[in-house]
Structure 1
Amino acid sequence: MVGRTFRIGQIVPSSNTTMETEIPAILRAREAMRPDERFTFHSSRMRMKKVTREELAAMDGDSDRCALELSDARVDVMGYACLVAIMSMGHGYHRTSQQRLHRRTVENGGAAPVVTSAGALIDGLQAIGARKVAVITPYMQPLTAMVVDYIEAEGVSVLDRISLQIEDNLAVGRHDPAKLIGIAKSLDLSQVDALVLSACVQMPSLAVLPAVEDAVGKPVVSAAVCTAFRMLEELGLETIAPDAGALLSGRYTRQPARAMAQ
């Protein structure tokens, strides 16, 4: 018997094809474990085709409109589903974005907590106690360097990284996740606490994440899995879902950081 339905809102780049696949997949799988819960999914889009600093900055300017549109639907939680757009705006910008977009929902009479995939990745790594990580990104080298710098500014050292150098965002979404198994094995993971299998919400990884975690013997996360983790926290739900790696095993539960002013 269904006890409650939760409305999940996502602000996504117009060319993103993955977050509206992986977030629902994680939460639909959770429904099988928690039959008293149901989730519905709602999106608003920001124009972006190529992953460049210029397009990312222009796209971020659209996020306020998207937050307003989603708050019209009275969603229960909202996710800003573009990690690199947030990180390209400077250190700590995920906090600024979350607070600003939350204010838009309050002003519209549909107050909802807002998480960003950038902030969620940091929070997810902190939740599992990861201080040293390796990272796989689809980005060109300069954007990968920027992502690494952002992560390290939050107190997490990146000991190894691979940049797949894919600029077109649709091509990122078409990257075969099975290739990530071999790519992950090519990294030096000897000293890391965790692997970020996809530091990009557009590069699919959920289908192979458990297999990679088994192969490397360390916690494996992705930007999408971390976003789902933070959404569950903000909804006040246990952070558990099947086949999504250690972070959503139920072993890592924190008190949600509800610092957004009502």
Structure 2
Amino acid sequence: MDVSFLGGPHPQRGVGVVAPFDFALDRELWRWVPDDVSLHLTRTPFVPVEVSLDLARLVSEHETLREAVQALCAVAPEVVAYACTSGSFVGGTGGERAMCAAMELSGEVPSLTTSGALLEALEELGARRVAVVTPYTRSVTDSLEAFLGEAGIEVTGRSYLGLTREIWRVPYRDVVDMAREAVVDAPDALFISCTNLPTYDVIPQLEAELRMPVLSANQVTVWSALRRIGKDAVGPYQALLDPVARRGPASMSSLPPGPPVIPDGATELGSAAGVPGPSAEREPEPAVAGTEPEAAEGAEPPPFPDDPGGLPLL
């Protein structure tokens, strides 16, 4: 059979990704990537350490990064991203810049980190005051706040889970609960930290409810990497990706939040087996009508019309 008419495969643009050994959300990264871009992932070597500042330092050592980038360069990516938030903020802004320099020296390819991409995204949105959500312990969350402060970003509120393992098992419901607690004192944006924390489906819903841009670690990493090669990240109605969304609900910071919304798929992830509850530093809140699984079951996601003014208040 003559298949010469096919003329393919179509050329692919390559993005290299260095992830920690326990990274479990490869599929989430791909959801922001257009069809003509391929992600080439490699992982840092396993170390028997739970999520902590020590682990962040171990998975971001320059020698580890150099070896990972050299392996990726075999498939000639156009840019390399280090996809770990804590590993790229643990050394402060100077440490983050040094990591990029080490990767670029090793592979002779433009390189970035998740924490550097976060600062780039905040600048893109003009956000100087942010609320922060993390799955980390208090000490790791403190380190993120210090990193942002060093970059001139004020943290107006924060919420964290205190986890040291299996962060990828956290359900969307917990992310939503933390977000609501963190957004005090009218921040310019909300940042959900950790590339191992699922966030893709929850971002547009939180933007509609909280009336502010919502950024996540995986989102800013892919957005920044694609930007370096002249490509746009894809995703449903997110302020960072879509200028129309910036003029829609995400810009309505003066309006009070509407009733709580849990996105489709929230129950799909299930409860985090063996995952401890929120940090004791978080104040318990009374139950809100409509947040029980029965109320969320069968809920329709909000439409995202071309005219953002037509979006119903959630």
The bucket for the TM-score relative to the shorter chain is: 0.7 to 0.9
Identity across matched positions, percent: 23
Written as runs of structure 1 = structure 2, the 5 A alignment for 1:79-228 is 79-106=81-108, 112-168=109-165, 171-196=166-191, 198-228=192-222
Q: Which residue of 1 aligns with 2:28?
A: 22
Instruction: Give the conservation status (yes or no) of the 8 Å contact 2:130–2:155.
Output: yes
Q: Using the TM superposition, give the Cα deviation of residue 97 of structure 1 relative to its aligned residue in structure 2, in angstroms.
A: 0.8
Q: Supply the distance in 2 between the matched residues of 1:242 and 1:185 (Cα, whole angstroms).
A: 22
Instruction: Tell me the SS of whatever aligns to 2:68.
Output: helix
CA distance in 2, matches of 1:10, 1:137: 22
Report the alpha carbon displacement of residue 180 of structure 1 after superposing the two structures with TM.
Answer: 1.7
Provide the secondary structure at the position in 2 that maps to 1:54: helix
Tell me by how many angstroms 1:59 deviates: 1.9
Gap runs ≥5 in structure 1: 32-37, 107-111, 253-262
Q: Greater CA deviation, 53-62 or 127-136? A: 53-62
Q: Larger Rg: 1 or 2? A: 2
What is the TM-score when the length of structure 1 is the normalising length? 0.83
The Cα of 1:222 is off from its aligned counterpart by: 0.6
Q: Do residues 39 (structure 1) and 45 (structure 2) align?
A: no
Give the CA deviation at 1:187: 2.5
Q: Which one is further off, 228-237 or 133-142?
A: 228-237
Q: How many residues align?
A: 234
Alignment of 1:244-255 (within 5 A): 245-250=238-243
Task: Measure the CA separation in 2 of the matches of 1:203 and 1:188.
Answer: 19
Tell me the SS of whatever aligns to 1:203.
coil
Q: Which residue of structure 2 aligns with residue 63 of structure 1?
A: 65
Q: CA RMSD in A?
A: 1.9
Identify the structure with the greater helix proportion.
1
Q: Return the offset for 1:189.
A: 3.6
Greater shift in the superposed pair: 54-63 or 80-89: 54-63
Cα separation, 2, equivalents of 1:207 and 1:75: 28
Q: 1:163: Cα distance to partner?
A: 1.3
Offset of 1:250 from its aligned partner?
A: 4.5
Structure 2 Cα separation of the partners of residues 188 and 81 of structure 1: 25
Question: 1:26 is matched by which residue type in structure 2?
Answer: W
In structure 2, the gaps of 5 or more residues are 1-7, 246-314
SS at match of 2:31: helix
Cα pair distance change 1:189/1:4, threshold 3 Å: farther
Deviations 1:32-64 (A, max 9, x none): xxxxxx122211111255212222222222111
Higher normalized contact order (CA 8 Å, seq sep 6+, divided by chain length): 1
